[in-house]
Amino acid sequence: MTQPIMKNKIVIGFVGLAGAGKSSALEGIKSIGTIITMGDVIRKEVELRNLPRTSENLGMIAKDLRKEYGNDVIAKKCVELIKEHPSDTIFIDGLRSMNEVNIFREFLKFPIISIIIDEEIRIKRLLERGREDDSIKIDDIKERDEREIRFGLREVIENSDYKITNNSTITDLQEKTREIVEKIIKGSSNLF
């Protein structure tokens, strides 16, 4: 059941393996709403512990937080951010498990969009992307993928409400994303 403070908010989740194109998809819709990145909660914790922002440290902190506070700790922190945020349209980037999805769905109708990409293209893009917390070796990428799949990422992708294949251009991805988001927003106006 939706709580009163959240009833007029449209919150849409985005999921995909690292390098699938979530950030590019969200870039195309940032004018529609606010983006809350679940990974920012983990990055902030890495900074608080004065650790270098490496893929290994991010994974370790994600595991530690979940072990200490439960698998849904990051989603709970994001729900608090959503409650306080003035925007009525919010996009959640970086879902990792159905536990997290269920936390959001306690408060919201929470459709999920998954970004799917062929493995070869994804790995090539990851190796070329050069973000600070990206792996630079294929073995490291596969290790990160396995860690996220153990969190439950594959199950979230499989259970998403909408799937976008991102084997083409960024423009194509952003057009597909905008089309789905606008459809969700239009449909949501009938819910309240």
Per-residue pLDDT at 4: 44
β 34-37/89-93 pair status? parallel
The CATH class of the 4-184 domain is: alpha beta
Q: How far apart are CA 14 and CA 26, in angstroms?
A: 9
- Residue 166 φ/ψ, nearest 5 degrees: -115, 60
- Residue 92 φ/ψ, nearest 5 degrees: -100, 120
2 Cα distance to chain centroid:
21
- Per this entry, what is the length of the chain? 192
Per-residue pLDDT at 63: 86
Q: What stretches in the chain show pLDDT beneath 70?
A: 1-6, 130-136, 189-192
Per-residue pLDDT at 190: 44
- DSSP letter for 11, please: E
Per-residue pLDDT at 20: 92
Per residue in 129-140, pLDDT (tens digit) is: 766 555 567 877
For residue 129, the one-letter residue type is: R
DSSP bridge partners of 164: 115
Q: How far apart are CA 75 and CA 81, in angstroms?
A: 10
- DSSP letter for 51, please: -
Sheet holding 112-116, edge to edge: 34-37, 89-93, 10-15, 112-116, 162-165
Burial class for 2, CB neighbours closer than 10 Å (0-12, 13-18, 19+): middle
Per-residue pLDDT at 192: 36
Per-residue pLDDT at 174: 97
Per-residue pLDDT at 157: 95
